[in-house]
Structure 1
Amino acid sequence: MDARAPSTGDPADGFTAVRLSESNFALQRPFDESSGARYSFDGTVRKLWVLSSDKATTTAPAWQFEAYGYVPSGTTGVCIMQVFGAGEAASTLMLHVYDGALRYYNRQLVEDAIYDRWFRLNVVHDVDASTLTVYIDGEQKLHVQGRGGHSHYFKFGVYGQRQESSRMESRWKDVKILKKD
């Protein structure tokens, strides 16, 4: 399931950025909080956080997600990025943070020592081949089979998982959606 063969070149080569406006970003939040209570955007960095005591929320197909992410120390038990939609499950890919390690769901290690640093994240979803490839700072870290389904979209932010910290936060900048040329 994990093909960690060395990659060459930039994972964004051969892809073209899709123009995004603020209307492409749908903010989800605890239903009992205003949007500003768990989100800020200074024109460059999108900062999102939730508390383990928050009330749950209910929750554009694409080809590649690219962004710079940051996870502060102490955030654990959280999903920071996912490809939503699948055949038998809710998601095709989830990237969780547990104790400073980025993992494929809560299992396979993708990148260690993810805390307190900006990292470039690329997630390539080849829907026809039903594969997903994850790159951190341009280096291929994970290649897995998809989980089926006909409707997918990228999500990023903070989504509490198992053994979550009392405060969970992620920050994002230079978010892009790219399509294959």
Structure 2
Amino acid sequence: MKYFQFIIFSAISIITGYGHHVNDNELPAQPHYTAEILLGNKQAFDPTSGWTEQQYTFTFHKPWNVNLNERHRFDKATNTHTFLLLKGDASFQQNSTTSPRCEMRVQNDYTSGMNQFEADYKVYKGSQHPIIMQVFGGTTSATAFNMKAYDENEGSFKHYDSKVLQTGIYDKWQHVNVIHNADSGKVMVYINKVLKGTFNDKGDATHYFKCGIYTTRSDTSKVEIRNIRFWVKK
């Protein structure tokens, strides 16, 4: 049974709502908004200020034995990707022992410099322990950073399985910025334009971004991600 009964990316180019052509695996340009407001004792601001936006192609990793449109859809009108994963789904390669996933693999490979991922996330209630964003690459771990969704406190974002980054996230849009400084080995995470933590990465490697769903402990995990953007800073 297919979970999404509509057309997703094909092998041809599409017309974006911003009046220019992009390939199926290129994201449309987005308007750039800035914000600078006071939230209690914390000041929110635009983490992309002073950065340069980049466009990258991407591919999808999904269970090898199902069609992509059974686990992913793209709504061009709202620039929203919806990812679905079922408990018991196969890995993305036949005979692989890795966990199941439905993810976007961004082709932004880098070994140095400052790179930033930006997007809006909505995690559906009941989704348990999916990894929803990764900075891939490390020497002591496969990833430099990951963010998981937990079912605690009406849904929580966590850095790996430890530090809580945000609570009350279920069924609510959350704005996420992840900045990786590969030169200093630091990862900074902003939720709704407020700094939530600075973490050490896992060592020098070739890095790239991934988003979507990697693994699930619940019968179903579902995540919407919209307005995905990429930035670099010299």
* TM-score where L is the length of structure 2: 0.70
Cross-structure match for 2:22:
none
- Larger of the two Rg values belongs to structure: 2
Q: Deviations over 1:76-132 (max 9, x none)?
A: 111000101101210011101110111000111011111111111000000001000
CA distance in 1, matches of 2:212, 2:169: 15
Partner SS state of residue 203, structure 2? coil
Cross-structure match for 1:133:
188
Cross-structure match for 2:70:
37
Partner SS state of residue 155, structure 1? strand
Structure 1 residues not aligned, in runs of 5+: none
Cross-structure match for 1:115:
170
Q: Deviations over 1:45-91 (max 9, x none)?
A: 10011101101125823600001111011111110001011012100
Percent identical residues: 29
Moved over 3 A (4+): 5-8
Residues 89 and 98 of structure 1: CA distance in aligned 2, closer, same or farther (over 3 Å): same
User: What is the aligned counterpart of 1:78 among 130, 155, 159?
Assistant: 130
CA distance in 2, matches of 1:69, 1:176: 13
Cross-structure match for 2:147:
95
CA distance in 1, matches of 2:44, 2:82: 31
After the TM superposition, which residues 10-89 of structure 1 pair with which residues of structure 2 at under 5 Å, given as runs? Answer: 10-20=46-56, 24-43=57-76, 44-58=79-93, 60-61=108-109, 63-89=115-141
CA distance in 2, matches of 1:13, 1:87: 31
1:148 is the counterpart of 2:196: no
Residues 117 and 10 of structure 1: CA distance in aligned 2, closer, same or farther (over 3 Å): same
1:175 is the counterpart of 2:228: yes
CA distance in 1, matches of 2:178, 2:219: 28
Q: Which has the higher contact order (CA 8 A, sep 6+)?
A: 1
Structure 2 residues not aligned, in runs of 5+: 1-40, 99-107
Quick one: which amino acid aligns to residue 82 of structure 2? K
